[in-house]
Amino acid sequence: MSLNTIGTLLQILMIIIVLVIIMSKDNLRIIVFFSVFSLITASLYFFNSAPDVALAEVAIGSAITPLIFIISISKQKDFIVINHSEDDFFDNDLDKIGHGYKFLHDFAKHYDLKLNIYHSNLDNISGIFRSRNVDLIIDKSPATGIYTLKGKESSTLMSKLEQMALEEPFIEIFKTSEGETYD
Amino acid sequence: MNPILSFIVVLIGIYGLCTSKNLIKSIICLNIVQTAVILLFLNFANFSGSDIPIIFKNIENPTDPLPQALMITAIVIGASITALSLMLCIKIFHYYGTLNWKELIEREG
């Protein structure tokens, strides 16, 4: 098998892989096939007598770019909640699941999000600084006992959460407009 | 066959850009089009039967190394553009709650 035959086979394989990428619906499968596509193009670069570009394509196109894609897909499902109330209303213990936790869990399950709740007491204050991209902050007013959920006004997820919270007596939604801080 | 291959891959990529409803798939299609254009440039620099442009004792007809240097730059810029657009994707998902083109256009009105 000569070098020309291998080049022709690789070109045909490249067209097939591009068609597979266009046809498939699953995000992770698209990313894996894009990695394969980059490897095939890297070998085609080598057949076009450009080994330096082939090296750069192997490193960047087939390793770093799919890595960025996978990281961003796993990050975009995160829904970050910071809990300032100190009772077990939003706790998730094995024997007792809090009512507020169940509410947030139903919301996250309906929109296919990944719920992350950080409890920030005074001895555990580092949880606040862990992520700057906070979606929701929970406060409890000590007089009435009503839990206040603060979030951005612009987000569509917040208005959905407000509709769901109409049925809950102990939860109210407070939406801050752009430019205000949460606290 | 190589310029024809680039042409076919660019056409398939533009078809994917037009028809896909998923934002992440659109970014992948942009990457495919960019790779095809890079392949076209490298093929123009590669004359028939020319050697790899690495200096030996007597190399007769080397490939033009200038497009190769430019295309390495293009690959790196493409990776950074991909990272930037994926960051905007995360922001869009947290703003609208979806990554579907049709729903996004409906929400925006």
Quote the mean pLDDT of chain A.
79
The predicted complex's ipTM stands at: 0.90
What tokens appear for A62 in the block?
């087939």
CB contact at 8 A, B12 and B3? no
Q: Cβ A22–B20 below 8 Å, yes or no?
A: yes
Question: What percent of chain B stands above pLDDT 70?
Answer: 96
Q: Cβ A76–B90 below 8 Å, yes or no?
A: yes
Burial of A135 (0-12, 13-18, 19+ CB in 10 A): buried
Q: Which of residues 22-61 of B touch A (CB under 8 A)?
A: 22, 24-25, 28-29, 31-32, 35, 38-39, 42-43, 45-46, 50-53
| Range of the structural domain that residue B15 is part of | 2-108
Report how many Cβ contacts below 8 Å link chain A to chain B.
Answer: 123
What is the identity of the amino acid at B87?
M
CATH code of residue B54: 1.10.287.3510
Distance CA A12, CA A9 (A): 5
Q: Cβ B39–A45 below 8 Å, yes or no?
A: yes
Tracing tokens 């192997």 back to the chain, one arrives at: A58
Say how many domains are in chain B. Answer: 1
In sequence order, which residues have a C-beta less than 8 Å from that of residue A158 and are 6 or more positions away? A151, A152, A173, A175
Return the CATH architecture of domain A77-176. Answer: 3-Layer(aba) Sandwich (3.40)
Kindly write down the DSSP assignment for every residue of A132-173, as one continuous string: S---EEEEE-TTT--EEEEEESS-HHHHHHHHHGGG-SSEEE
pLDDT, one tens digit per residue, over A70-129 is: 999 888 777 777 777 767 666 666 666 777 777 778 878 887 777 777 776 655 555 455
